[in-house]
Amino acid sequence: MVKSKWKKFLPSGRTTVIGIPFIWLLLFLVFPFAIVFKISFAEMAIARPPFTELFAYAEEKLSVMLNVGNYLFLFKDKLYLSAYLSSLKTAAGATFLALLVGYPIAYGIARAHPGIRNLLLLGIVLPSWTSFLLRIYAWIGILKTNGLLNNLLLKLGLIDTPLHMLHTNFAVYVGIVYAYLPFMVLPLYTNLVKLDESYLEAAADLGAKPWKTFIFVTLPLSKGGIIAGSMLVFIPAVGEFVIPALLGGPDTLMIGKVLWDEFFSNRDWPVASAVAIVMLLLLIIPMMWFHKHQTQEMETI
Amino acid sequence: MSTTRRSPLLSVWLLLGYTFLYAPIVILIVFSFNESKLVTVWAGFSTKWYGELLQDRQMLMAAWLSLRLALMSATAAAALGVLAGLVMARFGRFRGHNLFAAMITAPLVMPEVITGLSMLLLFVSMEKVIGWPAGRGMLTLWIAHVTFCAAFVAVVITSRLREMDESIEEAAMDLGAPPFKVFTAITLPIIMPAVAAGWLLAFTLSLDDLVISSFVAGPGATTLPMKVFSSVRLGVSPKINALATIVVLFVSMCAAGAGILMFRAEKRRKMEIQAAMRDTS
């Protein structure tokens, strides 16, 4: 009898199944952002942890010290503003390049014989299962001034003097396109493979040229895949750290690297937090856009 | 689909695409057997860099730590991801449904520097307020890895559950099986290949992570990517090429193994369906 009395206080099976992942994600994913937000209003201090407390209670008075200096600093110092802008620019450019490279690949796989489609797709995904870091490292050897690409171009007689490619923005673009290409191809493929062939046939029957069919039928129908793929590349690329750190040069300004240096070199946690909050605000609209399309795509399966 | 004319240009583009994806990896492997320390000039075949790699105690310790971490993170992330996928695909709408869905998709695109910083600040603040987790190390690494890996597993499981035929589950429920029994006897065996794929994905993600780990690992814990990153920053070394070759070999073996297992499961399922059809007709 005692057992049944207690039972109504215990959560039901349904609540437990929802509750476990919900609480985990709430505690370790959402709650940390609140803390970042809080610490972005603190001041750097020589202490452990290296920042001041926001709330102080003394003599029956609760005082709250909100330091907006970190944010003012971000807007006063040209470095941060230009880092944000150049990150957005680099990410957008690289996303567009990845789309140009990835769309024909996804289209080609969707058009391939059904028996080999999965194999071709596996071929796209497999490289991303090996270390991201090591694949970026590989490009150092390729792009170096005395590296493989320069040696090849010299041998072919296409250039007379080695090109300076490593530690430039060009190398960063190559790195992002290379590393994120599978994330562009996958959603595009899932979308294109569902494309109803009869639309294309109808367009052809009505006398449309193949390129016209592509622009007015295929492209608009694959809008969902284009958005999902582009956001999967663009959003992480804005905050990318490894690629600018290994392939970028002194004039490469990426906000992910700025945040990293602020945290690890300057040990200024409050400014690093403010950098993160502003980055999050910039990315919140693309993220919501991605989320909307992601849920739509998943519900139409 | 195969009936439409396909431009040969498309095939050429595909070939170029695969070359672009695989050439750097092939080059990494080739130059791991290079005699010279220069990773760009071929000076003869040698396996000495593998020997040097195996003598690098710090590197080996980091690899061992990363391997243990990835095993533990992938297992917990798979369990959490299956629960989350189940909630997404089978539980309909509930209070907080939108927030839950957003929490699943956010880690897929969230820049790692933001996730890393926020997790670290959480751990530091928690330690200050409740004294747990004491310091940073394996535990904080594990929590961080489970959190971001679980989201990826959840996406894999959700899409598998959505394409699965729900009528089998409904039939079991109509016959009086309680929900937990339906899950263990019907749903789980059917989605098992997806669970395995999700586990493998979580394993590779955890093994690979540099940025989040760098934030949440204390001075005592160095993962393999952290060690590799610090040595790559000092310069290119064939030792890293040797390590890359081993990683590629390991991943290909895992992928091949998983592929064979799934192929066999698929074949067995088809045979069982055929047998069942024969019995009923």
> Residues 91 to 110 of A: which have CB under 8 A from any B CB?
101-102, 104-105, 107-110
pLDDT value for B8: 85
Q: Quote the longest CA-to-CA distance of chain A.
A: 91
Summarised one tens digit per residue, pLDDT across range B57-72 is 999 999 999 999 999 9
Question: Residue written as tokens 């699965």?
Answer: B164
> Residues 173 to 212 of A: which have CB under 8 A from any B CB?
178, 181-182, 193, 197, 200
Q: Which long-range contacts (CB under 8 A, 24 or more apart) does A89-94 make?
A: A90/A169, A90/A172, A90/A173, A90/A176, A90/A237, A90/A254, A91/A176, A91/A233, A91/A234, A91/A235, A91/A237, A91/A238, A91/A240, A92/A234, A93/A173, A94/A172, A94/A173, A94/A176, A94/A177, A94/A180, A94/A233, A94/A237
Summarised one tens digit per residue, pLDDT across range B234-281 is 877 889 999 999 989 988 888 788 778 777 877 887 888 788 888 876
Give the distance from residue B273's alpha carbon to the nearest chain A alpha carbon, in angstroms: 21
Q: What is the ipTM of this complex?
A: 0.90
pLDDT value for B159: 87
pLDDT value for A5: 64
Give the residue on B whose Cα is nearest the Cα of A180.
B21
**Dist. CA B237–CA B181, nearest whole Å:** 55
pLDDT value for B2: 40
Helix (H, G, I), strand (E, B) or coil at A296: helix
Summarised one tens digit per residue, pLDDT across range B102-113 is 999 999 899 999
Average pLDDT of chain B, as a whole number: 89
Q: Any CB–CB contact under 8 A between A42 and chain B?
A: no
> A32 to chain B: which residues are within 8 Å by CB?
118-119, 121-122
Interchain pair A147, B40: CB under 8 A: yes
Position B197 confidence tier, pLDDT thresholds 50, 70, 90: confident
Helix (H, G, I), strand (E, B) or coil at A11: coil
Q: Report percent pLDDT > 90 for chain B.
A: 56
Interchain pair B1, A197: CB under 8 A: yes
Residue B256 exposed, middle or buried by CB count within 10 Å (0-12, 13-18, 19+)? exposed
Give the residue on B whose Cα is nearest the Cα of A197.
B1
Residues of chain B by 3-state class (helix, strand, coil), percent to 5: 80, 0, 20
Interchain pair B109, A111: CB under 8 A: no
Summarised one tens digit per residue, pLDDT across range B126-162 is 998 898 888 889 999 999 999 999 999 999 999 889 8
For chain A, list residues with pLDDT below 50.
1, 301
Interchain pair B114, A279: CB under 8 A: yes
Q: Any CB–CB contact under 8 A between A151 and chain B?
A: yes
Position B3 confidence tier, pLDDT thresholds 50, 70, 90: very low
Nearest to A273 among B86, B117, B154 (CB): B117
**Dist. CA A173–CA A158, nearest whole Å:** 22
Question: Residue written as tokens 């070199």?
Answer: A265
Give the distance from residue B248's alpha carbon to the nearest chain A alpha carbon, in angstroms: 6
Position B1 confidence tier, pLDDT thresholds 50, 70, 90: very low
Nearest to A127 among B13, B21, B84 (CB): B21
Residue A38 is which amino acid? Answer: K
Q: Report percent pLDDT > 70 for chain B.
A: 97
Nearest to A130 among B109, B111, B251 (CB): B251
**Dist. CA A118–CA A53, nearest whole Å:** 55
The mean pLDDT value for B85-96 works out to 89
Both structure tokens of A61: 């008075």
Q: Any CB–CB contact under 8 A between A30 and chain B?
A: yes
Q: Any CB–CB contact under 8 A between B26 and chain A?
A: no
**Dist. CA B187–CA B180, nearest whole Å:** 10
Interchain pair B24, A26: CB under 8 A: no
Query: For residue A55, what are the β-bridge partners?
Result: A64
Nearest to A127 among B2, B25, B236 (CB): B25
Torsion over CA: B89, B93, B95, B101 (sign): positive
Nearest to B240 among A28, A137, A146 (CB): A137
**Dist. CA A295–CA A168, nearest whole Å:** 38
Interchain pair B17, A101: CB under 8 A: yes
Q: At what angle do helices B224-234 and B188-208 cross, to 10 degrees?
A: 30
**Dist. CA A254–CA A89, nearest whole Å:** 10
Give the distance from residue A81's alpha carbon to the nearest chain B alpha carbon, in angstroms: 18
pLDDT value for A238: 96
Can you point out the beta strands (E) in chain A? 55-58, 61-64
**Dist. CA A11–CA A248, nearest whole Å:** 53
Both structure tokens of B258: 């998983």
Q: Any CB–CB contact under 8 A between B258 and chain A?
A: no
Selected residue of B26, B83, B104, B114 to mutate for chain A interface (largest A Cβ count, 10 A) = B114
Give the distance from residue A46's alpha carbon to the nearest chain B alpha carbon, in angstroms: 15
How far, in Å, are A7, A9, A10, A269 from residue A4 at the CA level? 5, 9, 10, 51
Interchain pair B100, A22: CB under 8 A: yes
pLDDT value for A7: 65
Give the residue on B whose Cα is nearest the Cα of A247.
B233
Interchain pair B84, A25: CB under 8 A: yes
Position B216 confidence tier, pLDDT thresholds 50, 70, 90: very high
The mean pLDDT value for B165-173 works out to 89
